[in-house]
Structure 1
Amino acid sequence: MPFSAPIAGTPLPPKFTYPFSYEPHPLSLLAAAELQSYLATQSDWEHNFGLSKQQTGAVIGKMFGVLVVRTAQNNIGYLAAFSGKLAGGFHHARFVPPVFDSLTEGSFLNIGMAELTRLNQEISLLKETNTTDSLTQVELLLKLRKSNSIALQEKLFDQFRFLNREGTEKSLRAIFQDTSNSNPPAGAGECAAPKLLQYAFQQHMKPLAMAEFWWGLSPKTATWKHGKFYPACREKCLPILAHMLEGMELEEEPVFIKAGAVALETA
């Protein structure tokens, strides 16, 4: 997306933003300001950020990100993304798509979840019968449900495949398999930063700078403040970004530490 405001007098950053500790570059600030202006005035979709008394339902503040890029046509613009879902969906105008869309109708995930629901219902009915034979069947179905659930989760993790500048692709499971927590945490790969970088690499764009900010109220914790900038999360994003940013010059010199998985830490 091109900038609305003129940027000719703004120098480009010599190195890419170190995502875990940064001061937003002026171009990132401008991109964020344009995105925030859109969020404050748009009528394309409805999401309760908790900023209007007219809205009802659960308040769900959201992390947004902007990525300043140089396109394949040598133009300077920016991309925008949100973490998780927005207004109940993954796809909205002005925002990059998810790395993997788990909500696609008829997908293996929906089919697998439907099967788990069926097993849960069957288990409940057998428990109500409460006979020796039915309880034996319950034990078998519980084992089947567990194995199906694990297989479904692993297949889902394998659908999240992340690129880096060199075009090297790694699955979410491969990225996390050597970390202290070998299983990816819930929501890994759905944060704004990986989505932005993934789309940029897919479209042969060069990432120049990034920033993430919180929009809305935070119903669970006072940590997130409306309109404030924050670093990328370490639990979900550090192993992913270590792969995606490999070979790129960052503002702070990173040290790649191989203690199971590659980790990105400040030198």
Structure 2
Amino acid sequence: MHSPEHCFTSFKAPTSEFTLPELFTFPFYYEPHPLCLLAASELQQHLETQTVWQHDFGLREAEDSGLREANGSDLNEANGFGLNEAKGSSLNETKGSGLNDDGSDGLGKMFGVLLVKNQQGELGYLSAFSGKIADKNLLPGFVPPVFDMLAKDGFFIPEQDKINLINAEITELKRKPELARLHSMLADETLLAEQQIAAHRASMIENRKQRKAQRLAGESLDEDALKQLSIQMSRESVQDKNRLKELTSYWDERLASAKSAHGQVNDRLLRLKLKRKTMSAALQQRLFDEYCFLNIKEEQRSLGDIFKDTIHKTPPAGSGECAAPKLLHYAFKHGLTPVAMAEFWWGVAPKSEIRQHKNFYGACKGKCQPILGHMLDGLPTDENPLLTNPAEGKQLDIIYQDRDMLVINKPAEFLSVPGRNIDDSVYSRIKQLYPDATGPLIVHRLDMSTSGLMVIALNKEANKSLQKQFITRTVKKRYVALLTGELSQDEGIISLPLRGDFDDRPRQLVCFEHGKPAETKWQVISRRDGLTKVHLYPKTGRTHQLRVHSAHPQGLNMPIVGDDLYGKKSERLHLHAELLELNHPTTREAMSFRVDAGF
């Protein structure tokens, strides 16, 4: 059992000059406290120099190449991971229902530091990592998992071994040539039966046509001859029907034999899959019950109980294995007082994500928000900055207006439309200024952090016309951005499909399997002081498209200055919608608007 002294780390550097925060960190959006930065620096020094364990964070390869090749990543593209790394052998076959981390030994990880006071009032910190490192979830100096599923005397490994035996049996059964032969034979017999029966039905239709023609031709016959013709045609009809019955019966028997032989093997396969599914579900539920999280009030809730009231009901993959819940649970369990917390990424990111080495990030929302909601209950924390209206005190500049439309210059950190918690937005401001305007007003949007030009429709007809121009991509949009690095090339096109990160919205992922197409043209304007100013021309309008295409290794590999999601936060996001060219919705006159970025 880990003791508080085992994981409590005293600062190497003096800390008396630092002032402690009055409230605990709001974990999803924060500026790291100076003491957390110091703790993280000491932990990073340890990661660079320790020799007790080995893990490939991908840093050496990145340093050697100067730019990591995303296709070289062996991490799964999906953001959720199952309990077992073998394909088809995770405990729960439902997507996103596993508990453990990816299980791989390669590439980057999220680390966390928790500033704490021990029972003697001494200040120090705890360290944790998400998931597993070096194929282990217990490493010296790091807090243990909330529940150690890999414990040798625990229930998980024996039960997983049983499931893996079933997986091996299923694999072996699938590989047997007998199953393939029987499957092929059944398919061939079924096809032949369908062909012969279909051919006979076609023959019956043709015979019916011929008999009809004979009846018409026999209308001139005498009564006896007509009667004989009718009897003959009735016999032919009965013969056709009897032949169909015989043919159908013959193939029913023949197919029944083929299905029986195939079914015996296939039924065994289905029984094994059902057994695996049942055992996996039972083991999964047991794990959900074993992962129990404390809060400062010493209240304990299981993972299953925490997620039962969420939309998905079932914990996503990796829930409870992130650094933040590990740190807080250990502190509450051992009587340590949490003071502040920060998490940083160490190493190369999975190919779908954008994570910068040594950058600090908030806790993920999909997996950690429900858990931390319970764990932080009773612990005073900083206010959620996302609940503060970023547009307060800012004005919308109207640079063009007539009875049909407006063109405005939207400030940075200003919502285009009302958010979940904040109503103040371009839409609400325009609604106040133009109460008689009709229609939805908003034709297109800019991200909250992006400044620049937006066109507003003041009536339904104008909205319809302007929207059509955006849909058909006849509107010309040009953005200007400042990148954190100097590009060597002068221009290019980025084509990286995007989708939302279901575990950490509003972040976006590059996903070639499920992402929507996204294309951006770029041109260098200037280079100075290690930064590059560029023009960006989005062909599509995906969420965070320009930010992701700029930051991703397969894009420009340079985050936009001030990008708090994909780079590092500064006074603002240096992305501005500079140029907008369109046709007037009523007169069809070509119109062009431009506003300098100011950076």
Regarding TM over 0.5, the answer is yes
User: What residue in structure 2 maps to residue 143 of structure 1?
Assistant: 274
- Greater CA deviation, 143-152 or 117-126? 117-126
Q: In the alignment, residue 289 of structure 2 is paired with which amino acid?
A: D
User: Please, which of 23, 35, 53 is the counterpart of residue 15 of structure 1?
Assistant: 23
Contact 2:110 2:130 in 1 (8 A): yes
- Greater CA deviation, 216-225 or 183-192? 216-225
The CA deviation string for residues 82-102 of structure 1, in whole angstroms up to 9 with x for no partner, is: 001111111112211111111
User: What residue in structure 1 maps to residue 488 of structure 2?
Assistant: none
User: What residue in structure 2 maps to residue 88 of structure 1?
Assistant: 135
User: Please, which of 372, 380, 390 is the counterpart of residue 241 of structure 1?
Assistant: 372
Residues in 1 aligned to 2:340 and 2:299: alpha-carbon distance in whole angstroms: 21
Structure 1 spans left out of the alignment, 5+ residues? 256-264
User: What residue in structure 2 maps to residue 261 of structure 1?
Assistant: none
User: What residue in structure 2 maps to residue 182 of structure 1?
Assistant: 313
User: What residue in structure 1 maps to residue 101 of structure 2?
Assistant: none
1:165 aligns with 2:173: no
Residues in 2 aligned to 1:213 and 1:254: alpha-carbon distance in whole angstroms: 20
Q: Give the root-mean-square deviation of aligned CA atoms.
A: 2.3
1:217 aligns with 2:348: yes
User: Please, which of 136, 148, 155 is the counterpart of residue 108 of structure 1?
Assistant: 155
Contact 1:20 1:231 in 2 (8 A): yes
Q: Which has the higher contact order (CA 8 A, sep 6+)?
A: 1
How far does residue 106 in structure 1 lie from its aligned partner after superposition? 4.6
- Greater CA deviation, 235-244 or 137-146? 137-146
Contact 1:214 1:226 in 2 (8 A): yes
Q: Indicate how the Cα distance of structure 1 residues 216 and 123 shifts in structure 2: closer, same or farther if over 3 A, else same.
A: closer
User: What residue in structure 1 maps to residue 476 of structure 2?
Assistant: none
1:76 aligns with 2:123: yes
Q: Indicate how the Cα distance of structure 1 residues 168 and 266 shifts in structure 2: closer, same or farther if over 3 A, else same.
A: farther
Residues matched between the structures, number: 257
Calculate the TM-score normalised by the size of structure 1: 0.89
Residues in 1 aligned to 2:269 and 2:145: alpha-carbon distance in whole angstroms: 38
Larger radius of gyration: 2
The CA deviation string for residues 179-211 of structure 1, in whole angstroms up to 9 with x for no partner, is: 001110111100000000011001101100000
User: What residue in structure 1 maps to residue 333 of structure 2?
Assistant: 202
How far does residue 134 in structure 1 lie from its aligned partner after superposition? 2.9
What percentage of aligned pairs have identical amino acids? 48
Residues in 1 aligned to 2:311 and 2:129: alpha-carbon distance in whole angstroms: 27
Calculate the TM-score normalised by the size of structure 2: 0.41
How far does residue 254 in structure 1 lie from its aligned partner after superposition? 9.2
Q: Indicate how the Cα distance of structure 1 residues 214 and 124 shifts in structure 2: closer, same or farther if over 3 A, else same.
A: closer
User: Please, which of 114, 117, 126 is the counterpart of residue 164 of structure 2?
Assistant: 117
1:99 aligns with 2:146: yes
Contact 2:29 2:385 in 1 (8 A): no
How far does residue 61 in structure 1 lie from its aligned partner after superposition? 0.4
How far does residue 107 in structure 1 lie from its aligned partner after superposition? 2.8
